[in-house]
Amino acid sequence: MSRSLSWDELKYELQPWIRNAVHGMGFEGMTAVQASTIPMFCGNKDVVVESVTGSGKTVAFVIPIIEKVINDVLNGSPLKKGHFYSLVISPTRELSSQIQGVFDAFLSYFPSEVCPIKSQLLVGTSASSVRDDINFFMENKPQILVGTPGRVLDFLNSVAVKSASCGIVVLDEADKLLDVGFEKDVESILNLLPKQRRTGLFSATISSAGDQIFRTGMRNPVKIAVKSKLQNPDTLDISYIVVKPQDKLQYLLHILTHIQYKKCIVYFPTCTSVTYFYSFMKHCLTTGNTGTEPDLFSLHGKLQTNSRLGTLSKFSSGLNKSVLLTTDVAARGIDIPEVDLVLHFDPPTSTEMFLHRCGRTGRANRVGRAITFLNEGREEDYVDFLEVKNIEIDEMPFEVNVTEDLSKKFETWVLEDRARFDNGVRAYVGFIRYYSKHTASSIFRLQTLDYIGLAKLYGLIRLPRMPEITQNLKNDMIPADGWLVQPPIDLDRFAYANPQMERSRQEELKKGKETEAKKKLKSELKKKNSSWSNKTTAKDTKGERKTKLALKRKAIEEKIAQEDEQNEGEEEEDWKDMVRRSKKSKTASQIQGDFSEL
C-alpha cells in the first residue's frame, strides 16, 4: 500500500454516491489491491485475492458487493420474503462486526429515498439466539449478511431463510475458513447457496489454503496477488529480542512502561495465559505507580461475545496509552489504526499467524513496530527461518535494562490465593501443549525447552507432573519433589481466597483424609493376612527342603552300602562325614572354577 492511485484511474465506473463515500471516509486515493480487485469483482469474475495485511482488502470487496446489491435492487424484481442478496463470512465475531461496520459506513452515504440498503450481523452471542436473528431478518429485510460460519449455517438452515437470491459471497480470511475447524461449516454454507453466484476469497496469506480453494465452487477465478518481495508491509518494522524465559515478564513490563506507543497488542499462547498474566500484570502496574502505566485490557475466545466486542471497542476508543492482552482470536483482520506496537510473548505456531499478528500494526501506510520474544537457545534459529520466508526481522534496536526481580513479588502474589496457583499450572501446561503444535518443529522442540525457567516465568512454586517434563528433563535437574520454593508449601493449608471454593476444598480434603485412613486400614489388614500366608509358604518350602534332604540322605546311604559291598575291609565311615566331604569337594571345585575363569 505504498502508493495510492486516484479513484479516477479505476477501470470501472463507480456509482456517484460511492465516489462521494470514499472521499467522505478520507480515502483520497485507492490502494493497489482495490485498483486491481474492484473492476474484476464488479465484472462477472470470481476472485482469489492475496495482499499484505492492512492493504485495504475490505473496501476491495465491500464496494463490489454494494454495487451488485444496488444493481439487483434497482434492476431486478423486488426481493422476496426471506431472501437476501449477498453474504460475507469471516472467522471471528470481532472481524464480522468490523466488516459490518465498513458496510454501514458506506451505506450511510447512500441516498435512502431510493430504497434502504441494510446489513445484518450473524454471530453467536448469549444475548440473541438464531431465532432472534431470524425474527430480526424477517422484520428488517437486510440485503447483506455478515457473520461467522457456525451462526451463518444455523441461520441458513432455517426454513424461513431462502438462499436462492444470493448472487455474491465473500470468504474473508479465506485460508482460515477453509482450514480444519471451519472447513465443514463453510462447505455446507456454500452448498446451500446458488451455483450461479460470484465468489471472492480474500486474505494476506491465501496461498496456504492450497487445493482447498478449488472446493469453493468458483468458476475460472482470477488470482490477484499484490505483493512485494517481502511478505510484510514496508511500513512495518519487525524485530526480536532473546531472553531467558524467567526474565520475559520483566522485559515485557519494562517495554510497556518505557517505550513510546499509543496502543499495543500483546499476543499470548492460550486463553488461560491471557487471564493469568492479565491479573498479575494488573497487580504489578497498579502497584508500580510511576505514572507511565498503560490501561490494560484482556480479550480471548472463552469470553462472551458481548464482553469481547465491548473490550475491543473500549481498547480502540480509549484516549490513554492502552495495552490489549489477547490470543490469536484477535490476530486476523482486526483494524485499529492507532495500534503502533505488537508484541509476541511467544512466537505463534505458524508463519501465517506471525504475519497476521504483526499486521495489526503498520497498516494503511502507517508506521508500526512488532517485537517477538525468543527464548535463549534453539529458538534463536527462528530469525533465519523467517528470513527464508521473506519476512524481514532484525534485532530489537534498543536495550532493555531490567533491574527489578519479579520472582519474589510473583511468589507472594501466588501464595495469596490458591486459585492463582491452579491457574498458573493450567497456563504452564497449556503453553507446553501449544508449543508442541509449532509447524516449525525443528526449532520449537519439546526436548530443548527450559522447563524450569518457564515454570519460573509462570510463577509456579512447584513443577507439575507431566510426561513432557519427565521425558525431556534429566532426573537430576528435577528439584526434589518438584518444589521450586524453599521450604516447600504445606498444600493442605494453602487456601483459596474465595470462601466458597475454600469450603469445598476443605470438604474434599476431609473426604480425602477419610478415604486415606480407610485405605491405610485396609492395607494394614492385607499386610497382616499376607504375612500369615508368607509364613505358610515359608513352612511349605521348609517341608520341601526336608523331603529333598531325606531323599539325598537315602541316596548317599545306598551309595555307601554299594561301596561297602565293593570295598570290604575298609573302615566304615559315618555317612555324615561323607556328606561333609562331598559338599567340601563341590565348594572347592567351584572356587577352582571361579579362579580359572578370572
Ligand X SMILES: Nc1ncnc2c1ncn2[C@@H]1O[C@H](COP(=O)(O)OP(=O)(O)OP(=O)(O)O)[C@@H](O)[C@H]1O
Provide the minimum distance between the beta carbon of 120 and ligand X in the complex, in angstroms, as a whole number.
20
Only one of the segments 51-59, 119-127, 149-157, 317-325 lies at the binding site for ligand X (rule: CB under 6 A); that segment is: 51-59
Interface with ligand X (CB under 6 A), residue total: 20
SS3 content of the chain, % helix, strand, coil (to 5): 50, 15, 35
What string marks each residue from 168 to 207 as x (binds ligand X by CB under 6 A) or -? ------------------------------------x---
DSSP H/E element including 236? strand 236-243
Only one of the segments 52-60, 145-153, 490-498, 526-534 lies at the binding site for ligand X (rule: CB under 6 A); that segment is: 52-60
Q: How far apart are CA 84 and CA 105, in angstroms?
A: 20
Which residues, other chains included, contact 523 with Cβ-Cβ below 8 Å and sequence gap of 6+? none
Provide the minimum distance between the beta carbon of 283 and ligand X in the complex, in angstroms, as a whole number.
33
Only one of the segments 28-36, 63-71, 239-247, 311-319 lies at the binding site for ligand X (rule: CB under 6 A); that segment is: 28-36
Q: Which is nearer to ligand X, 46 or 335 (CB)?
A: 335
Q: How far apart are CA 553 and CA 579, in angstroms?
A: 8
Among the listed residues 507, 493, 425, 409, the one whose alpha carbon sits nearest the alpha carbon of residue 463: 425
Q: Which is nearer to ligand X, 8 or 113 (CB)?
A: 8
Provide the minimum distance between the beta carbon of 123 and ligand X in the complex, in angstroms, as a whole number.
17
Binding to ligand X (CB under 6 A) within 341-360 occurs at 359
DSSP 83: B
Provide the minimum distance between the beta carbon of 73 and ligand X in the complex, in angstroms, as a whole number.
25
Select the residue interacting with ligand X from 31, 163, 316, 351 (CB under 6 A): 31
DSSP 379: G
Buried b (16+ CB within 10 A) or exposed e, 420-435: bbebbbbbbbbbbebb
Select the residue interacting with ligand X from 54, 221, 245, 347 (CB under 6 A): 54
27 touches ligand X (CB under 6 A)? yes
Only one of the segments 210-218, 333-341, 386-394, 397-405 lies at the binding site for ligand X (rule: CB under 6 A); that segment is: 333-341
DSSP assignments along 422-449, one per residue: HHHHHHHHHHHHHHTT-SSTTTS-GGG-
Select the residue interacting with ligand X from 230, 364, 446, 478 (CB under 6 A): 364
Select the residue interacting with ligand X from 333, 348, 362, 459 (CB under 6 A): 333
Cis peptide bond N-terminal to 78, omega within 30? no
Q: Which is nearer to ligand X, 173 or 346 (CB)?
A: 173
Provide the minimum distance between the beta carbon of 235 and ligand X in the complex, in angstroms, as a whole number.
12
Provide the minimum distance between the beta carbon of 263 and ligand X in the complex, in angstroms, as a whole number.
13
**Tell me, what amino acid is at 324?**
L
Q: How far apart are CA 103 and CA 364, in angstroms?
A: 18
DSSP assignments along 453-507, one per residue: HHHHHTT-SB----HHHHHHS-GGGSPGGGB-SSSPP-GGG---SSHHHHHHHHH
Provide the minimum distance between the beta carbon of 55 and ligand X in the complex, in angstroms, as a whole number.
4
Q: How far apart are CA 360 and CA 293, in angstroms?
A: 22
CA quadruple 447, 453, 457, 461: dihedral sign: positive
Pair 152, 87: CB distance under 8 Å: yes
248 touches ligand X (CB under 6 A)? no
**Tell me, what amino acid is at 515?**
T
Distances (CA, A) of 48 to 45, 204, 212: 10, 11, 12
379 touches ligand X (CB under 6 A)? no
Q: How far apart are CA 144 and CA 583, in angstroms?
A: 103
Only one of the segments 56-64, 142-150, 244-252, 520-528 lies at the binding site for ligand X (rule: CB under 6 A); that segment is: 56-64
C-alpha cell at 121: 450481523
53 touches ligand X (CB under 6 A)? yes
Q: How far apart are CA 209 and CA 220, in angstroms?
A: 17
Q: Which is nearer to ligand X, 248 or 357 (CB)?
A: 357
User: What sections of 76-216 are H helices per DSSP?
Assistant: 93-107, 130-140, 149-156, 174-177, 183-192
24 touches ligand X (CB under 6 A)? no
37 touches ligand X (CB under 6 A)? no
Do strands 198-203 and 168-172 pair parallel, antiparallel, or not at all (unpaired)? parallel
Helices and strands, number each (H, E), in the chain: 19, 16
CA quadruple 232, 238, 240, 245: dihedral sign: negative
Select the residue interacting with ligand X from 68, 248, 363, 456 (CB under 6 A): 363
DSSP 378: G
Select the residue interacting with ligand X from 32, 42, 57, 103 (CB under 6 A): 57
Cα 239 from chain centroid (whole Å): 22
Q: Which is nearer to ligand X, 96 or 375 (CB)?
A: 96
339 touches ligand X (CB under 6 A)? no
Q: Which is nearer to ligand X, 246 or 372 (CB)?
A: 372
Q: Which is nearer to ligand X, 141 or 227 (CB)?
A: 227
Cα 245 from chain centroid (whole Å): 18
Position of cell 469481547?
Answer: 308
Select the residue interacting with ligand X from 288, 337, 512, 543 (CB under 6 A): 337
Provide the minimum distance between the beta carbon of 459 and ligand X in the complex, in angstroms, as a whole number.
34
Provide the minimum distance between the beta carbon of 279 and ligand X in the complex, in angstroms, as a whole number.
30
36 touches ligand X (CB under 6 A)? no
Q: Which is nearer to ligand X, 194 or 337 (CB)?
A: 337
Q: Which is nearer to ligand X, 4 or 279 (CB)?
A: 4
Interface contacts to ligand X, rule CB under 6 A: 4, 27, 30-31, 34, 51, 53-59, 204, 333, 335, 337, 359, 363-364
